């Protein structure tokens, strides 16, 4: 089965209604729309100060929690698409979606990921995140024993607002590592470390996206070097080939 999920607070009420209708029109077997009320009280209370912050409804720390919740509700081998409420689903691009699912079936990895090759990781990820995952310093703090090379810093950041997943051990492991990072150091997901970065090239932390980008580079994913979610102009012949557009519609 092919499942759809999205999330949004009151700022995205109309977008949630729009995209869930688009998902139904596309042919998803199930459609689930989450809001802050769907987070369990214990999680909300533990991270209340972060969840109150306006950026991504609390720096996106809810994302791994909700994806783990949804994965627990579907069967092994099912497909799950997390798509930000501000995105658009193109109803005519079924062939490319079938390609994505075929890629997952033929891979040991469980997530299709889109890379922004023009945006190096090091521009949008803090040293605290790199250090946590042992990127370049050889001392991982995430519980692994791996030493990761600096290529992770130089390669383009990987998008996390659109995730095409197959429920399997690899996918569940990635989400567990992501969620563990929330509990180990939730401040990595925030802007708190931005002011102490010393590298001249650093621009801004991208929060949950920065963390999950490094995770997927470290532990593997089905990586598409072209960001097919952002093909301008919207509705052009090239754009119409792709099923999910990162249109960033608010409201």
Residue by residue, DSSP assigns 191-242 as STTGGG---TT-----HHHHHHHHHHHHH--EEESS-TT--SSTTSTTGGG-
Tell whether 29 is covered by a domain: yes
Q: Which residues contact 215 (CB under 8 A, 6 or more apart)?
A: 133, 174, 177, 178, 181
**Tell me, what CATH number does 92's domain have?**
3.90.550
pLDDT by 10s per residue, the chain, length 251: 999 999 999 899 999 999 999 999 999 999 999 999 999 999 999 999 999 999 999 999 999 999 999 999 999 999 999 999 999 999 999 999 999 999 999 999 999 999 999 999 999 999 999 999 998 754 455 555 554 556 899 999 999 999 999 999 999 999 999 999 999 999 999 999 999 999 999 999 999 999 999 999 999 999 998 899 999 999 999 999 999 999 999 88
Question: Domain for residue 59, yes or no?
Answer: yes
In a domain? residue 185: yes
Q: Which domain holds residue 183?
A: 2-245
Is residue 220 situated within a structural domain?
yes
- Tally of domains in the chain: 1
Q: Is residue 251 part of a domain?
A: no
Phi and psi angles of residue 83, each rounded to the nearest 5 degrees, phi first = -135, 125
Contact 14, 251 (CB under 8 A): yes
Q: What is the pTM of this model?
A: 0.93
For tokens 């992501």, what's the residue? 178
**CA separation for the pair 161, 60 (Å, rounded):** 10
250 located within any domain: no
Task: Give domain status of residue 7, yes or no.
Answer: yes
Asked if residue 197 is part of any domain, the answer here is yes
């Amino acid at each position: 089965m092919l499942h759809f999920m999205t999330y949004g607070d009151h700022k995205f009420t109309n977008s949630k209604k729009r995209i869930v209708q688009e998902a139904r029109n596309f042919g998803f077997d199930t459609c689930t729309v989450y809001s802050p009320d769907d987070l369990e009280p214990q999680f909300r209370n533990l991270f209340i100060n972060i969840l109150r912050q306006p950026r991504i409804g609390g720096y996106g720390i809810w994302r791994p929690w909700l994806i783990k919740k949804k994965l627990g509700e579907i069967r092994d081998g099912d497909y799950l698409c997390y798509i930000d409420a501000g995105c658009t689903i193109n109803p005519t691009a079924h062939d490319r979606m079938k390609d994505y699912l075929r890629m997952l079936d033929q891979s040991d990895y469980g997530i299709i990921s889109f890379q922004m090759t023009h945006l190096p990781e090091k521009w949008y990820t803090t040293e605290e995140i790199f250090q946590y995952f042992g990127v370049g310093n050889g001392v991982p703090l995430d519980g692994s024993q791996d030493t990761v090379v600096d290529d992770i810093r130089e390669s383009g950041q990987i998008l996390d607002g659109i995730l095409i997943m197959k429920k399997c051990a690899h996918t569940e492991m990635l989400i567990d590592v992501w969620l563990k990072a929330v509990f180990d150091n939730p401040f990595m997901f925030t802007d708190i470390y931005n002011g102490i970065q010393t590298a001249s090239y650093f621009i801004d932390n991208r929060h949950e996206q920065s963390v999950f980008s490094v995770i997927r580079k470290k532990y593997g994913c089905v990586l598409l070097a072209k960001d097919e979610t952002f093909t301008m102009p919207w509705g052009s012949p090239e754009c119409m080939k792709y099923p999910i557009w990162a249109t960033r519609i608010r409201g």
